[in-house]
């Protein structure tokens, strides 16, 4: 185990078809969502990328190289860890953590950055650009560029550079150039726009390693495919450890890459509940949260940055500002496949507030000795709410998408300011 | 009011509506028309203009901050149409504000306002089914962008889907001024010409009279955007229309 392919057939057709063989999307569509809404200048590059990706998927050598690096360089497979103390304290379901936080660079992001980096190398592109919110995708991309000897430019909102400063230093240490973006709210959305402006300008030489299951086709599909390894491993592991599938899987949803990776191989297992957790921020008014699926929260279908999905926007179609204590969830739109899963009811989406996420960090740190990223802490917060309502025979799997070292500055400030009390 | 470029090269003037305010945009548009602009592209300001450079980004930000909406821009289009029945008038927008209003509703209201056509920056021909249907139902001209990176097969589809004129992007990149034109511009026009009899307008980086003349060597019209928007930004309040009028006259030579 530990490969990106496992025993599941891959290829363009397989990528568009669910594991049960049901047609899921024809032209980069997830139900009505997805598609391609970009300036014409990018279309040739997207078509080139789509063709190169399809070809790479069919090439056993590409898959073998990716599998080898995921195993020997990144540390896959990641453990599926039974959190005994936390489960017992909560008095309900058995909680398992899929430990993506233990991957090289500290988050699931490396799965995709490595896949796209190898693809860029295969396409002969020497210059890499990427956006980053929390800095985890930026660090993963900078790491892959160092490994493969490629030039790397990372766009990051200035607000995010401030609050995730350790990751800025990590990227620079790895040899990447970090370019601050001051437009808009100076967060992830603005970093993506600036990365797209760079790509449209340098499209002939540059590969854009998009970090979430967002953007124009083929990105949402390709990013999802590179993260499918999470659920492929988890399914095998939970069957080994529990002899049954989980009752529910919980993952945080910013753009939605870790969540779609954790959900994907379970989509056709109708009895497995899929629960995405959005950032509830500090209030329900537009601008105070990043919960695209929240009722009356300002989210509705629209087009942002290349894809048709749920978008937080005003009545005139201007994109709303967002807030979350976690930079990685602080985004006005969401991956189009999640929009489809939301509408069909196959997955449900809930939220955790800033305070709940901060509290969950402390709880997990003191109960299990695990310091989760603030993003992942949103999923932990939901598990803390949910587990006590479940039976002791139920299994609740949480995708622990990243580790929290990067958040130390925020934690020191927020926990002190807000005096969050945590019970060990 | 068919889109016509009587004197070659024709001139298309892009303005971000609502910068500095809607009434001034109207005065600027009229001054541009009176001094020789054949077509006004009325830009709908958007919060996230990812195809635009810093000049139009700043203008959009100012206009959005003032609360300028697509509905306001439609009302402005109607005023310009009433004041200058002979000028070409194109609505230029990112897709999301249009989707929010509703594609059919938007096209009906654009036609009612007297617009001749529409250009949606992030709408590619493959996704345009519903859009083209609503445009045709309202006898509006869809104008698509053609890029130097577009292969011939795409240029053909773009030429076939466009009416009024085709907008050829002069170079890879975002909007903004530049000191000289690249070879990309004439190449994309030459390749487009194989597929269409429609006028071809060249835009992105066309900043002065010399550029306009250079475009006239190989295309039917030049689109001037960022240079105008930058002039509006730099000009003291109240003098924008006059300044733009003078600049357009200069571009016309």
CB A319 to CB B47 under 8 A? yes
Q: Is A421 considered catalytic here? A: no
Instruction: Provide the token pair at B167.
Output: 């907008």
ipTM: 0.96
DSSP string, A133-179: SSSHHHHHHHHHHHHHT-EEEEEEEHHHHHHTHHHHHHHHHTTPEEE
User: pLDDT digit string (tens) for A305-345?
Assistant: 999 999 999 999 999 999 999 999 999 999 999 999 999 99
Using the beta-carbon criterion (under 8 Å), do B173 and A313 form an inter-chain contact?
A: no
Rounded distance between C-alpha atoms, residue A115 and residue B46, angstroms: 34
Is residue A131 among the annotated active site residues? yes
Average pLDDT over residues A181-195: 93
**Is residue A310 within 8 Å of residue A342, measured between CB atoms?**
yes
Residue B234 is classified by DSSP as: H
**Residue in the structure block whose two tokens are 């496949």:** A337
Q: Give the mean model confidence (pLDDT) for residues A141-156.
A: 98
pLDDT greater than 80 at residue A21: no
Average pLDDT over residues A116-121: 98
Catalytic residue among A109, A189, A235, A359: A109
The question of whether B41 is a catalytic residue gets the answer: yes
Q: CB contact, 8 Å: B53 with chain A?
A: yes
CATH node for B10-252:
3.20.20.70
> Where is B100: in which H helix or E strand?
helix B95-101
Interatomic CA distance for residues A322 and A285, integer angstroms? 10
Tokens 């020191």 sit at which residue? A412
pLDDT greater than 70 at residue A7: no
CA–CA gap between residue B114 and residue A348 (Å, rounded): 45
Q: What is the pLDDT of residues A343-378, one digit of tens each?
A: 999 999 999 999 999 999 999 999 999 999 999 999
Q: Do B100 and A302 touch (CB under 8 A)?
A: yes
**DSSP secondary structure letter of residue A311:** E
The pLDDT tens digits of the residues spanning B195-215 come to 999 999 999 999 999 999 999
Among A residues 202-231, those touching chain B with beta carbons less than 8 Å apart:
202-204
| Chain A residues lying within 8 Å of B94, measured CB to CB | 303
User: DSSP secondary-structure letter at A379?
Assistant: H
Q: How many cross-chain Cβ pairs, A to B, lie less than 8 Å apart? A: 113
Question: Does residue B93 have a pLDDT over 80?
Answer: yes
Taking each helix axis as running N to C, give the angle between helix A43-58 and helix A60-72, from 0 to 180 degrees, rounded to the nearest 10. 80
Global pTM value:
0.94
What whole-number percentage of chain A has pLDDT above 70? 92
Query: Domains of chain B: which residue ranges?
Result: 10-252
- Look at residue A23 and tell me whether its pLDDT is greater than 60: no
């Amino acid at each position: 185990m530990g490969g990106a392919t496992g025993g599941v057939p891959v290829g363009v057709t397989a990528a568009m078809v669910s594991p049960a063989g049901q047609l899921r999307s024809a032209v980069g569509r997830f139900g009505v969502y997805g598609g391609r809404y970009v300036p014409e200048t990018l279309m040739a590059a997207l078509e080139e990328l789509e063709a190169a990706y399809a070809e790479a998927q069919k090439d056993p050598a590409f898959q073998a190289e990716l599998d080898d690096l995921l195993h020997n360089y990144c540390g896959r497979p990641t453990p599926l860890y039974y959190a005994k103390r936390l489960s017992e304290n909560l008095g309900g379901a058995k909680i398992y953590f899929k430990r993506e936080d233990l991957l090289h660079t500290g988050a699931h992001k490396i799965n995709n950055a490595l896949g796209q980096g190898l693809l860029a190398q295969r396409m002969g592109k020497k210059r890499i650009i990427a956006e980053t919110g929390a800095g985890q995708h930026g660090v993963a991309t900078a790491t892959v560029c160092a490994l493969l000897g490629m030039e790397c430019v990372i766009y990051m909102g200035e607000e995010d550079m401030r609050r995730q400063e350790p990751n800025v230093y990590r990227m620079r240490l790895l040899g990447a150039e970090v370019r601050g973006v001051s437009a808009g709210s100076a967060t992830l959305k603005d970093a993506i726009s600036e990365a797209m402006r760079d790509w449209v300008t340098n499209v002939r030489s540059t590969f854009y390693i998009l970090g979430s299951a967002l953007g124009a086709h083929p990105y949402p599909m390709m990013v999802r495919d590179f993260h499918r390894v999470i659920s492929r491993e988890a399914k095998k592991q939970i069957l080994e450890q529990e002899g049954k599938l989980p009752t529910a899987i919980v993952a945080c949803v910013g753009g939605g890459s870790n969540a779609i990776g954790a959900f994907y191989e379970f989509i056709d297992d109708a009895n497995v509940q899929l629960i995405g957790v959005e950032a509830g921020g500090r209030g329900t008014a537009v601008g105070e949260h990043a919960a695209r699926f929240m009722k009356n929260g300002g989210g509705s279908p629209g087009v942002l940055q290349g894809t048709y999905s749920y978008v937080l926007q005003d009545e005139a179609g201007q994109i709303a500002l967002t807030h979350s204590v976690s930079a990685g969830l602080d985004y006005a739109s969401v991956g189009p496949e999640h929009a489809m899963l939301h509408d069909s009811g196959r997955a449900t989406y809930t939220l955790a507030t800033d305070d709940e996420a901060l509290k969950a960090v402390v709880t997990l740190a003191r109960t299990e000795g695990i310091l989760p990223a603030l993003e992942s802490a949103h999923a932990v917060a939901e598990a803390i709410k949910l587990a006590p309502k479940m039976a002791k025979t139920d299994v609740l799997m949480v995708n622990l998408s990243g580790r929290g070292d990067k958040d130390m500055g925020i934690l020191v400030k927020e926990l002190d300011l807000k005096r969050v009390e945590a019970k060990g | 009011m068919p889109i016509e470029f009587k004197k070659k090269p024709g001139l298309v003037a892009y303005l971000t509506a609502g910068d500095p305010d809607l009434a001034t945009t109207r005065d600027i548009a009229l001054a541009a028309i009176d001094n020789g602009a054949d077509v006004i592209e009325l830009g709908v300001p958007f919060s996230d203009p990812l195809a635009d450079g810093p000049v139009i980004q700043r203008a959009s930000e100012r206009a959005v901050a003032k609360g300028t909406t697509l509905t306001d821009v439609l009302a402005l289009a109607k005023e310009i149409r009433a004041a200058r029945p002979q000028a070409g008038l194109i609505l230029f927008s990112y897709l999301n504000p249009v989707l929010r209003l509703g594609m059919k509703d938007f096209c009906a209201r654009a036609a009612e306002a007297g617009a001749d056509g529409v250009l949606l920056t992030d709408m590619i021909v493959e996704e345009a089914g519903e859009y083209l249907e609503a445009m045709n139902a309202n006898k509006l001209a869809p104008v698509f962008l053609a890029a130097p990176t577009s292969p011939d097969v795409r240029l053909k589809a773009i030429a076939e889907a466009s009416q009024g004129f085709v907008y050829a992007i002069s170079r890879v990149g975002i909007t903004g001024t530049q000191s000289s034109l690249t070879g990309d511009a004439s190449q994309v026009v030459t390749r487009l010409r194989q597929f269409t009899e429609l006028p071809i307008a060249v835009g992105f980086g066309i900043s002065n009279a010399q550029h306009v003349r250079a475009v006239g060597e190989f295309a039917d019209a030049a689109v001037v955007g960022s240079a105008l928007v930058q002039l509006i930004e730099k000009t003291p309040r109240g003098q924008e229309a006059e300044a733009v009028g003078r600049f357009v006259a200069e571009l016309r030579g």
